[in-house]
Structures are given as structure tokens and as C-alpha cells.
Structure 1
Amino acid sequence: MLDSFPFYLSLAVAIVLIVMLANRIKVAYPVLLVLAGLALSIIPGIPQIHINSELIFVIFLPPLLYEAGWQTSWKELWRWRRIISSFAFVVVFFTAFSVAWVANYWIPGFTLALGFLLGGIVSPPDAVSTAAILKFIKVPKRMTSILEGESLLNDASSLIIFRFAFIAVGTGQFVWHEAAVSFVWMVIGGIVTGILIAYAVMQVHKILPTDANMDIILTLVTPYGIYICAEEVHSSGVLAVVAGSLFLSYRRHSFLSSTARLRSSNVWESLSFILNGLVFLLIGLDLPQITAELGNVSMKAAIGYGLLITGVLVITRIIAAYGAVVVTLIARNFITVADDRHPGFRTPLILGWAGMRGVVSLAAALSIPTHLQEGVPFPQRNLILFITFIVILTTLLLQGLTLPLLIRKIGLPTDPDEKLPEEKMYAKLRKQLNKLALKHLEEKYPGGLKDNPALQQMAQKWRLNSEEPATADMPDETKDVYSEILEQQRNWLIKRNLETFAITEEVIRKHLLFLDLEEEKLKYL
């Protein structure tokens, strides 16, 4: 282990350099990381990296899911809940069924249970890849919200399929009524467990005399604790982490100080960055081991099977995307939908094409044990690993590199809800916050506005819509007034965020970040 330590350090440096290159040439960094892993894997003397399959879920998934849930807008998730749910559950089940049927029919030795196992592994698209690609091209906010929301939930649904298929492979039987009860418990139990533990963690933050460093440590421990507890009661650890992160993210301003929020944000961004980078490098670095263990299956046949399953995934997702549009158009005649406008052919095509596979698929594939409980080798394990690798590689290269070109080529309709660009929306909200602050000063401190130069200077800057009201010569009593106004503005923003969809939560969060920074400044004035 110590002999390979310099190699592990070099991987971290390589990730940074590759991401810098990806940003320079405007290519999604997961694509370059996978290719870099492939290149490294063929260099003689490179240490083979092997992660314990039983720990892969615990090491990578909880923090990555927690960070994704923390960044997700609950407002947008709720607004697009129907289409997100359809993609995260219905489309995943439809995809897994399609993969199972094709694998059972075309791949020798693949039972239906093994087909569903493979389907559960390769069904969920990767959110990191999609986000990295969309960073370089402008798309309507509703599309990014749908893709982000889908990525939070489809991991759970696909892993539930994976777990049931794994049991069927091991036992050779599948009892439908027992599976139905187990499925309900995994979903409900996972959500309830996640929320209960998240609530307990929130109370710990509130009650105990923690500081920012302690709060950050608690946030790092929380996703692991939620996941392990949920798995111990045989519910979905993935859903538990997602539910817990959404619960805490929605209430972050009620139990974390501005210092803790600012510092934890930096810590989590760095942690997520390195974990994602390592996973995508591992995809490439694992190739020699995967190919060496194919056994009796020829390389040519294995690649063909991988490309076949990739084709099924791409076609199935596009069909499902257009199917979701049809269902929405029918449903709007009976229920209120978030958006009853006809989306045309372009939006479903982009949603269907944005189906790159990545972290979750790799983690699920690597978690397959080498042997069943009876000591019998797990059937088709190495072929499943290789097919998963081909699916990840092909979707990242094919869809990942062509998605920006496709978006530019066909164009996307503008979102009528986005009546103002984010810059103008931000400036408009800033003016409203300044008016709120001025009104508070005039009503509560009318005398101070006449006699206190610091308050007069603050009021003047708010009248000019400046974002720098804090000054270096602010007296202590003025700091108290300013802190009071910052808290009032924060509460107004949170309430405003719940009242309207016209203001995106991203803009709201930018203002909340500004308030946190202003609150931090007061400690050093």
C-alpha cells in the first residue's frame, strides 16, 4: 500500500490537470478522465487498483448523492415532479426490462434474472457527465432541473432492480408478492429513515454548542450514517441519503451558521470533485483486469454485446422521452401539469440523448461478488463487468461529445418562464432587497438615520443599489443593526423562493450567498 502511495497522489494531480485541459478545450471532463484511465492502464508497471466490491457503495455513493441532493432545488424538483418521477422510475423499469429481454435473447448463457441484473446496472444516466457537458452550452432551466432531479432518483430505482435481480440469481426464484412488499418497504423505509436521521442531525446542530469545524465534520459523517442505517433495516440506502440531503438542504439556514455554510460548501465541492474524478479514472484503469477475466467469451463478441446493450439503452430512452410527452399531453386534460405547452420534438430528443452512464453503473457492477453463497462462481460476472464498461465508455464518447453539437444544431425553444436573463433577475431582486432594508431602517431606526453617520452611509448605498454596504469603520451598534437587516433579508428571500417559480432558486441562492459573505465580513470589521 505504501509503495503505491506516490501513484495515488499522482492520480489526484492527474485529475486536476485533465479537468483543466477539459475546461480549456470545452469538453466534459468525465470523457477525458476515462480516456486518461485507458491510457494509463496500458503503461507497463502501473499498479492495478482494486476496490473491495463490498465497500464500493459505502465509499463513493453516499457523499456523491448527498452533495447532489444538497445542490438540488427542492422547488424545481417539486415543480417537475411528474416528468422527473416518470424518468426516474417508469423509464428506468422500462429500460431494465428492455435490456433483460435483449440480453436473454441474444447473449448466450444470460438468464432473464441476469438480464435484469445487467439492466439495473446500466439503466441510470450519470448526472455528473450531463452537468459537465451542459456547463459549456446554454439550455433552458427546466431541462437542467429535470435532468438533475432525475439523476437523484433514478439511482435508487435502478439499484432496487439490481438488488431484486441479484436475489433471483442467487436463489433461482422470484416471488412476486414478496418482492412487491419488499419494494414498498425499500422505498418508504428508505425515505423515512433518511428524514428521521436528518432530523436528528439537524437537532444536534441546533442543540449542541458546535462551531463551524464541528458542523463540517458532522456534514461529512451524515451521508455515511444515513446510508448504513438504512441498509441495516433493509431499506434503500440511496433513497435515504437523497431524502436526508434534500431535507437538510431545504433547512440549511435554520441550523447552520453563515461560517459553516460557506466553509462546508468549499469542502464538499472539493470532496465531490476528487471522488468523481477517481471514479471516472477507475473506469479506464479497470480495463486490463476486466478484459483478462472474460474467460471463454472472445473480445470481439464481448464488444458486440456491449454495443448491442448500448444501442438498446439509447433507443429505449429516446422512445421513453417521447412517450413521456404523450402521457403529459393526455394527462393535462385531467390534471394540472407543471407545463402544458407542447414541447415539440426537440426537447424530448435532447432529454433522450442526455443518457451518459457513469458512477452508479460502475459501482453496481463492481459490487457483484465473485462467488455466490454456496461458493459457486457468480454466473457471467466478468461479461457483465465488460458490458458495463463498454456502455459507460460508448455513451460518454458518443453522446457526451455529440450532445453539445446536437443542441446547437437543432436549437431549443426558450422558456417563457425565464422572462428575464439571470443577470437582470439578480439586479431586480437586489433592488427589492435594498428597498426592504431601507424600509426597515426608516421604520425601526428613524432617529439613527438622522444622527448616525454609519447608518446614513448604509442607507445611501442601498438607495444607489450598491452591493457593498458594509464599511471598515462600522461601530458595534451599527453592526447589530446590519446583522438584523441581513437576517430579515434572508428570511424574505427564503419566503420569496417558495412563493414564485418566476425567480429561479439559483438566483435566490446567489443572494443568500452574498448575505452570508456580508455576515462574515462583520466579524472582521
Structure 2
Amino acid sequence: MHTYLPFLLAMVFAIVLLNMLANKLKIAYPILLVVAGLLIGFLPGLPMVRIDPDLIFFIFLPPLLFEASWSISFKEMKKWWRIIGSFAFLVVFFTAMSVAVVAYHFIPGFTLALGFLLGGIVSPPDAVSTGAITKFVKIPKTTSAILEGESLLNDASSLIIFQFALVAVGTGHLVWQDAAVSFLWMVVGGTGIGLLLAWGFVQLHKRLPLDAQSNISLTIIEPYFMYWLAEQFHCSGVLAVVSGGLFMSARRLVFLNSTSRIQSFSVWGSFVFILNGTVFLLIGLELPEIVEGMREKGIPLHTAIGSGVLITGVLVIARIISSYAALLATYLFRPGVMPRASSNRRRWMMPMLLGWTGMRGVVSLAAALAIPITLGNETDFPQRNLILFITFIVILLTLVVQGLTLPYLITRSGLFEGIIEEKSDELIRKEMKQGLKQHVYLFLKSKYDNEPNEHEGMEQFLKQWEERAKATDDNWMNQKTKLIFLQLLEKQREYLTELNKDPMINEEIIRQQLFQIDLEEERLKMI
């Protein structure tokens, strides 16, 4: 333990430094992490770090998926559920099948089952990588919502493929009727268990006298419990975490107080950031052993690199084809929800850009590392090292090539310059704040109309909300005025919750304003 501790601390420090460098260079930090993982693996004298493949999913996936489900806009997911569903399930299956066929025919030693295993690993685009890359350019909220929703759900579908492929590789066959029933149970059972546990956790938070530290601690262990229980019933642990996370996210204002919400934002951000960086560096640490394992099996390095480039090309082409198929289907069957653009040329160029956003990342790495070292009969798992190496090449190429060129392509192509938004974010924010002021002022006038002459604090309140002038003296803030102020903040939350039902309002703006209200409540508690 004392041997590994300095190394683990150095890993975290390296992740922080790489993130600082990425911000300085204005590139996505996953790009630097994957390159650093490549370089660090070949440094001499580093200790061998091995994690039980059975624990990889359990350690890394639950918190990553849970945090992603809290960050996404469920309202936008419902609005664009058709295209999100098609990309999250149909496109993932099509991509996995394409990889399986190509690997079976062009990579020596690959069976169709191994091809589907590789396809399940590399088919899901990474939400963290896509979000980190697109934050440097402005894209429409519709496009970002589709990418985020797809990235959240495609992890579940790809990992279901991965699990069935593992069974096929281990047993040598797969009964499709049984597989269909198992698939249905994994989806329905996983979703049901996630929702049931999430409801129970919400009740637990609401009924127990928990402080902020206890609330946050519970949210950290809850996704692990969802994942573990679903797996015990042979359901999809991934779907359990995603469905449970979405359920709890929609009710965060009900069971978490302002202190818990503010502190959890920082805690979870740091926790997920370290987990992401650790996975990237772990694969780098295993690269020398992977390369040595391929050499022992007689697989030349240049052949493995060529296989990785081939599979990367298949992934890019399959995603572009799928993007055009989705747009064509929308044009034929749902023309009313076609993407808005200033010209037909730009509209039909969008699928090309959407196809270029398929960067792979942490989930693919975790899935590859989760391949067992041996089969049930104690023989080596076939082509394990080659699959790990191809996965790393795919992630390296998609992050570096697509990740570095995507912001340039978006800026230079001008595809999104012609996008017609119903309302700009600035206009929505301005109208929202004006509505908040009016809503609070009318509440004060209706409830405390007779008190201004009797209570100096109330007079200050009315002036503040009528003129939006901040009082510099906090002496008037006694217990009664503080209670009223808290009521006003709660009224603002109710107003914003109701306003969020408008499909034209960007939920991210609502969440930003709710966060500001939480900060205001915390400031009030300090007076």
C-alpha cells in the first residue's frame, strides 16, 4: 500500500495539471489524458497497477452515469426522444454489427462473437468527451441535447451487447430466443429497479434529519446500490442507474436543501473528474503488458495498429450513414421537426457534422478492461490483448483527430450560423428575470399589504423588489424579515419550476437561476 500511495497521489496531481494545460490550450482535457496515458505507460520504473476486471464496471460506471443523468435536461430528452432513442439503440446496434462483420472478415483470429464483443465496447460515443470538446464552440441547444441524451442511453445498449457477446464467446453459441427474453428483462427489470430504489432514496432524504454532508454521502453510495441490486437480479445495472438518476434529478428541489445542492455540485464535479482521468491513465499503465501479450501471441504491432485504424474508420462511416438515415427518415415521416437552417445545403451537411462527433472515451475503456482474463475453463480469453489495444487506438484517434478538428469544422463551416432559434438565451434570461421580479412583488403586495406602515423591514422589502435596489445595511434583517425572504426565494423556485414546463425555455438557464437562488439563501443564512 505504501508503494502505491505516492503513485496514486501523483496520478491525481498529473490529472489536475493536464486539465490546467488543456484549459490553457483551449482543448478538451480528455484529449490530453488519452495522450498522457499513452506516454505514461512506457515510462520505466512505474509499478504495475491491476484491477480485477469484475470490479471495473462497479467502481467506475455507477457514479459516472449517475452524475450524467443529473446534468442532462430530461425535458429536452422527452422533446427529442425519437432521434435520441434511434441513436442510442438502433445506431448502436447497427454500429456494433458493422464492427462485428468487418472484424470477422478482416482481422485474423476474430470470430463473429468476438466482433460483436468489440462492437459493444467501441460503439458508444462518450458524453464527457463530447461535452468537453463542444464547450469551446457555440452549438444549438437542440444539437447539444441530442448528443447528451444519446451519450447517456447508448451506454446501456452497448453494454447489453457487450454482456451477450461475452456469453457467446464463453459458451460458443447464443440462443436468440433466450437472448431476446433476457434482453427484455434486462431493460424492463433494470429500469423498474432503478425507479423503485430512486423513489425509496427520495423518501429517505425527505424523512430523515440529514445535514448536507449526510445527503451528499448518500448520493455517492446510491448509484452503487442501484447498480449492484439490478445485477443481482440479472438486469441492466446501467439502466437502473440512469433511470434512477433521472428520477432523482427531477426531484432535487424536493429532497435536497440549498446547502446540499450547492455543495454536491462541487463534490460530484471533482469526484467524476478524478474517475475519468484515472480510467484514461489506467489503460496507459496496462499498455506495455498489452503489447507484450500481443507479441507472445504472434500479433505484430503494426498489424494491431492497422486493425485499430480500420475499426475507427468503420465507426466514423457507420455514424455518418446513421445520421443521414435519421435525417432522411425525419424528412419523410416527420418533416415538421426537421432541423432548422438557413439553406438546404446546410441542413443536409448537419448529419456529416453529427457523424463527426462520435468520440469514444471512458465507457469503452471500462468495458475493455472488464473483459475477463480467462474463460470458465481457465483458458486465456481469446484476443483479449488485441481488443484492449484496438479500443485504445479507437479512443486515441477519435479524441485526437475528431476532437481537435471538430471545433474548427464547426467554426469554419458556419453550419450553425443559420440555425433559427425561437428565442435567444439572452432574451429568455431577460424575460425570466423580469417575470421573477413581478411575481415576487405581487406576492408581497397580496400577502403583506397591511404591514409596511407597521414594520420597517417590510417597507425595505417592497422597495427592494419594486426598484431592485440592494440594501447596504443588514440590521433590518431580523427573524421575521428573514422568514419572509425565505418565502420569497421559495416562491421564485415555484415560478421557475412552472416556467420550465415551457418547451421553448432552455432548462440550463432555469438551472442557473435556481443555483443563484440557492446561493442567495446561503448568503441569507450567514446574516
Distance in 1 (CA, whole Å) between partners of 2:123 and 2:177 is 24
Indicate if the aligned counterparts of 1:346 and 1:410 stay in contact, CA closer than 8 A.
Answer: no
SS at match of 1:280: helix
Q: Which amino acid aligns with 1:419?
A: K
Distance in 2 (CA, whole Å) between partners of 1:468 and 1:203 is 39
- Partner residue, 2:351: 348
Query: CA deviation digits over 1:106-130, x for unaligned, max 9?
Result: 1111111111011000000111111
Structure 1 residue ranges without an equivalent (≥5):
none
- Partner residue, 2:49: 49
| Structure 2 residue 231 is the aligned partner of structure 1 residue 231 | yes
Q: Of 416, 426, 451, which residue of structure 1 is paired with 2:420?
A: 416
SS at match of 1:345: helix
Structure 2 residue ranges without an equivalent (≥5):
none
Displacement of 1:4: 2.0
- Partner residue, 1:514: 516
- Partner residue, 1:118: 118
Displacement of 1:462: 2.2
Indicate if the aligned counterparts of 1:49 and 1:285 stay in contact, CA closer than 8 A.
Answer: yes
Q: Which amino acid aligns with 2:312?
A: T
Displacement of 1:281: 2.1
TM-score in terms of structure 1 length: 0.96
Report which stretch shifted further, 502-511 or 45-54: 45-54
Query: CA deviation digits over 1:426-467, x for unaligned, max 9?
Result: 232111101101000111101223343322223223233468
Distance in 2 (CA, whole Å) between partners of 1:316 and 1:3 is 45
Indicate if the aligned counterparts of 2:456 and 2:476 stay in contact, CA closer than 8 A.
Answer: no
- Partner residue, 1:441: 444
Indicate if the aligned counterparts of 1:462 and 1:469 stay in contact, CA closer than 8 A.
Answer: no
Report which stretch shifted further, 278-287 or 439-448: 278-287
Indicate if the aligned counterparts of 1:454 and 1:478 stay in contact, CA closer than 8 A.
Answer: yes
Distance in 2 (CA, whole Å) between partners of 1:366 and 1:470 is 59
Q: Across the two proteins, how many residue pairs are aligned to each other?
A: 521
Q: Which amino acid aligns with 1:433?
A: L
Q: Which amino acid aligns with 1:355?
A: G
Q: What fraction of aligned residue pairs are identical, expressed as a percent? A: 54
Q: How does 1:213-232 map to 2 (within 5 A)?
A: 213-232=213-232
Distance in 1 (CA, whole Å) between partners of 2:107 and 2:432 is 58
Q: Of 294, 311, 314, which residue of structure 1 is paired with 2:313?
A: 311
SS at match of 2:109: coil
| Structure 2 residue 328 is the aligned partner of structure 1 residue 326 | yes
Q: Which amino acid aligns with 2:304?
A: A
RMSD: 1.7
Indicate if the aligned counterparts of 1:80 and 1:338 stay in contact, CA closer than 8 A.
Answer: no
Distance in 1 (CA, whole Å) between partners of 2:152 and 2:172 is 31
Q: Which amino acid aligns with 1:450?
A: N
Report which stretch shifted further, 337-346 or 94-103: 337-346
Distance in 2 (CA, whole Å) between partners of 1:189 and 1:352 is 32
- Partner residue, 1:134: 134
| Structure 2 residue 31 is the aligned partner of structure 1 residue 31 | yes
Q: Which amino acid aligns with 1:521?
A: R
Displacement of 1:42: 2.0
Q: Of 428, 433, 456, which residue of structure 2 is paired with 1:430?
A: 433
Distance in 1 (CA, whole Å) between partners of 2:452 and 2:284 is 65
- Partner residue, 1:152: 152
Indicate if the aligned counterparts of 1:331 and 1:337 stay in contact, CA closer than 8 A.
Answer: no
Q: Which amino acid aligns with 1:312?
A: V
- Partner residue, 1:242: 242
Query: CA deviation digits over 1:21-72, x for unaligned, max 9?
Result: 1001111101111112222222211222222111000111100100000111
Q: How does 1:229-308 map to 2 (within 5 A)?
A: 229-294=229-294, 295-308=297-310
SS at match of 1:292: helix
Distance in 2 (CA, whole Å) between partners of 1:79 and 1:315 is 27
Q: Which amino acid aligns with 1:128?
A: V
- Partner residue, 1:454: 457
- Partner residue, 2:179: 179
Question: Are residues 9 and 457 of structure 1, via their aligned partners in 2, closer, same or farther at CA, if it must alter by over 3 Å?
Answer: same
- Partner residue, 2:190: 190
Displacement of 1:213: 1.3
Q: Which amino acid aligns with 1:102?
A: V
Question: Are residues 466 and 325 of structure 1, via their aligned partners in 2, closer, same or farther at CA, if it must alter by over 3 Å?
Answer: farther
Indicate if the aligned counterparts of 2:340 and 2:420 stay in contact, CA closer than 8 A.
Answer: no
Displacement of 1:491: 1.1
Distance in 1 (CA, whole Å) between partners of 2:447 and 2:409 is 56
| Structure 2 residue 379 is the aligned partner of structure 1 residue 376 | yes
Distance in 2 (CA, whole Å) between partners of 1:388 and 1:146 is 25
Distance in 2 (CA, whole Å) between partners of 1:472 and 1:67 is 41
Question: Are residues 112 and 222 of structure 1, via their aligned partners in 2, closer, same or farther at CA, if it must alter by over 3 Å?
Answer: same
Indicate if the aligned counterparts of 2:330 and 2:338 stay in contact, CA closer than 8 A.
Answer: no
